[in-house]
Structure 1
Amino acid sequence: MMPRRQEGALLLMVSLLLATLAALAFGINRAGSVELRSINDDYEGRAAAYLAEAGVAAARWSGQVGACVTRPVGPIALGGGTVTITIKSEDIIDVTATATVNGAMRTVTRNGLQLYDLRQTERVDISDKTTDTTIVNPSAGPLEKEQTLRLVSGKSHILMKWDMDEIDDDVLVVSATLNMMPTTISGVVRQVAAHRVTTEWDKGATWIKARPASNWNGGAYTDAVLASAGVGSLAVNWDLTGLFDGWASERLLPLGVLLRLVDADQAVNFYSREAPLSGMRPLLRIVRAKKC
C-alpha cells in the first residue's frame, strides 16, 4: 500500500492537473466564430496562465516528493497546451514556467520557493504540553484543573492551546489532527465545531475574562469553522492542518482553538489533560516535514 503522505501528494498533483485541464477545455473548446474571437483569445490567455501556474506547482511538488531533487521539465503537452519548466537552485528553487495554448503564451516566475522533504516526514504527538479549560456562563472561577471538559449549547465552551516548540518555521505541517475522548456513551451524535481563537488567554480564563487584564464574552474566535466533527460514543478528531500550517509559517498567531456545540439544547463532556489515564487525554498528532 502506498504511504499516506505520498498518496496525498499524488492526489494533490492529480487534482491540480485535472483543474488545469478543465480550465483548458473550457477555454479552448469554445465556438470559433469571428464574434467570439476576442473572447476566445482571453480564455486562451487565461488557460495558458493557469497552465503556467500548474507548472510551478508541479515543479515544487516533484522536488518535495523526489528526495529534494528538482529537474527542468518540458515541453509537456497537456490538453491543447504545452508547458516548459526551468528550475534554478536546489533546496530553495526559482521556477519559471512558460505555457502556450493556441498561440497564447504566458510565463510565470516564482523565486525563493522553499522545498520540504515529503519522503522523510516525522510524527509528533503532543498531550502533556496541552493547556485546556472549560469556560461557562454564568461565569465561574478557572476550571483548568478539572478532569473533564464540558460543552453545553450556548453556556460553555472549551479552550485549548499547545506548546509550539515542536512546530517552528523550519517545518511544513503535513497534517495536524486533534483527537479527544468523550466521557460517556451516547447514541446521539452532536456536532462540535472548532474555531481559531483571536485573543491571547491563559489557563485561568473564564467566560468573561481571557486573562486578568483582558475581557471577553464566551471567548473571542473567528466565525469561520476550522473543522466540525460528530461526537457519539467513540473517540473523535478534528483536522486542524491549515491552522497549524498558519502557525508554523507565522501567518497566524498561535492563540489556540475554541470548541463549541453547533446545535441548541445539547451537551457533551470530554476528558481533559488532567484525566488519570494517558489514553483518555486529548492528543494532538502532527506530521511534519523538514526543509530540504
Structure 2
Amino acid sequence: MKPIVPRPQSGAILLVVALLLATMAALAFSMNRATGADALSVQDEYEARAAGYLADAAVANARWASQVGGCTSASIPLTALGTGTFSAAVVKAPSKRLNITATGTVNGDTIRTRSVNESNVFDFSKTETKDLGGNVIDTWIDNGAGTVLQSYWQSKIYADSTDIALMSDRYYGLLYWATTDVKNDAQVLSANLILTQNGTGAVTRQVAVQRMMTPWDQKASWTSPTDKTYWTGTDWGNLAFDTVGVGSGSTYTWDVTGLVEGWHKGRLANYGMLLRLVTPNQSVSFYSRDAAAKNRPILRVTSAKAC
C-alpha cells in the first residue's frame, strides 16, 4: 500500500485554481467562437456556457482581488476576454462578508449572471504564523512484534520519554495539538509539522503522517488509547497527508495543511496524528515534548483573518 495521496488544498489555493479554471474555460469558449464563426456557427448552448464561465471568473476575481488587496471589496470593472466580457458588482454586507453579482456576456447578446451572497473572504495581506509547540501531547506505542514478552511491550506507556521512536510495523508515534490558538474566523493557509531527529541515519527512511480517528491520551499503549478504553480497529486513516524522507539531517517538515484545516473548520475530528515508517526493517527517532525546548515538536500554522 502506498500511503502518499494528493493533499487537500487550502482555501487560498482553491480560490486561485477556481479563478484560473473559470478564466481558462471562458477563454476557450470565447476563442472557439472567435475562430470558428466563419466556418461553422456556434450553437447557443456553447455561448451560454461561455457566458456562464465568464460570470464564474468574475466571482472568483472579485473574491481574490478583495483578499489580496486587504479586504478592499472593490467591484470588478467591465473586462474583455476573447469575444466576451465580464464584470462584478461587490457590496460588503453588515456581516463584513461580500455580496457579489457577476455578469458574463458573449457577443453582446448572450448574458449569464451569478449571484453569491455572504461570501467569506480573508485578508491575505496580513497573515499570522504561530508555533503551536507548547500544548503538544505526544507518545509512541509498541505492538511488541517478534518479541517473547509481546503483551508486556503492548501495554507499556512511553508518554514521559524524551523520544518519539518509530520502527517499521512495530513502533508508531502519536501527536496531538489543540487548534484553539487559531482564531475561529480565520482561514488556515498552511500548516507544517516540524520534528527534530534524535541521531542520524545512513539511509533515507520514509515517514508518513496519518490522521488519528480515535481519542487517546498520555496513557495510550498498543492495547488501549486511554486507561478506560480500547482501540476499535479503525483508529487511524490508511492514507498519508504527507510522507517525507528522513536521512542524515536534523530537522524535517511535513505539510499537514489539509489535516489542520479540517480540524479548524470542524470537517475532521481532531484526535491528532500518527507517524509511521513506510518501508520494512527501518527505525528512526525524533525528540518529544519532554526533550530540550529547542528540539521539541512544532506545529507551525499560518492563517489569514476574516475581513
TM range (shorter): 0.7 to 0.9
**How far does residue 133 in structure 1 lie from its aligned partner after superposition?**
0.9
Q: What percentage of aligned pairs have identical amino acids?
A: 35
The aligned residue for residue 81 of structure 2 is 78
Aligned counterpart for 1:118 among listed residues 107, 110, 124: 124
Provide the rounded CA distance (Å) in 1 between the counterparts of 2:288 and 2:247. Answer: 17
Distance change >3 Å, CA 254–CA 13, structure 1 → 2: closer
Aligned mates of 1:136, 1:101 — CA distance in 2? 64
Note if contact 1:191-1:231 (Cα within 8 Å) is conserved in structure 2: yes
Asked if 1 retains the 8 angstrom alpha-carbon contact of 2:138 and 2:288, the reply is: yes
Deviation at 1:195, TM superposition (A): 1.4
Q: Are 1:209 and 1:216, in contact at CA under 8 Å, matched by a contact in 2? A: no
Q: Aligned match of 2:281 in 260, 265, 268? A: 265
Residue from 21, 24, 30 that aligns with 1:22: 24
Query: Is 1:87 equivalent to 2:90 in the alignment?
Result: yes
Provide the C-alpha distance between the structure 1 equivalents of 2:229 and 2:15, rounded to a whole number of angstroms: 48
Greater CA radius of gyration, 1 or 2?
Answer: 2
CA RMSD in angstroms comes to 2.7
CA distance in 1, matches of 2:58, 2:280: 48
The structure-2 alpha-carbon separation of the partners of 1:112 and 1:148, relative to structure 1 and needing over 3 Å to count, comes to same
User: Any gaps of 5 or more consecutive residues in structure 1?
Assistant: 1-7
Q: Deviations over 1:46-83 (max 9, x none)?
A: 44333323322221221122221111112212344321
Q: What is the identity, as a one-letter code, of the residue corresponding to 2:74? A: R
The alpha-carbon distance between structure 1 residues 237 and 267, as it changes in their structure 2 partners (threshold 3 A), is: same
**CA displacement, residues 244-280 of structure 1 (integer Å, 9 cap, x when unaligned):** 22222222222111111222222111111111x2121
The question of whether the paired residues in 1 share the 8 Å contact of 2:23 and 2:53 is answered with: no
Instruction: Report the Cα offset of residue 45 of structure 1.
Output: 3.7
Kept after mapping to 1: 8 A contact 2:22/2:56: no
Q: Which residue of 1 aligns with 2:261?
A: 245
Q: How does 1:80-229 map to 2 (within 5 A)?
A: 80-89=83-92, 91-102=96-107, 104-138=110-144, 139-211=154-226, 212-217=228-233, 220-229=235-244
Task: Provide the rounded CA distance (Å) in 2 between the counterparts of 1:222 and 1:45.
Answer: 43
Distance 1:161 1:45, change over 3 A: farther
How far the C-alpha of 1:107 sits from its partner, in A, is 2.3
Does residue 57 (structure 1) correspond to residue 60 (structure 2)? The answer is yes
Deviation at 1:178, TM superposition (A): 0.8
CA distance in 1: counterparts of 2:131 and 2:56, whole angstroms: 35
- TM-score computed with the length of structure 2 as normaliser: 0.81
Structure 1 residue 134: deviation in Å?
0.6
| Counterpart position of 1:3 | none
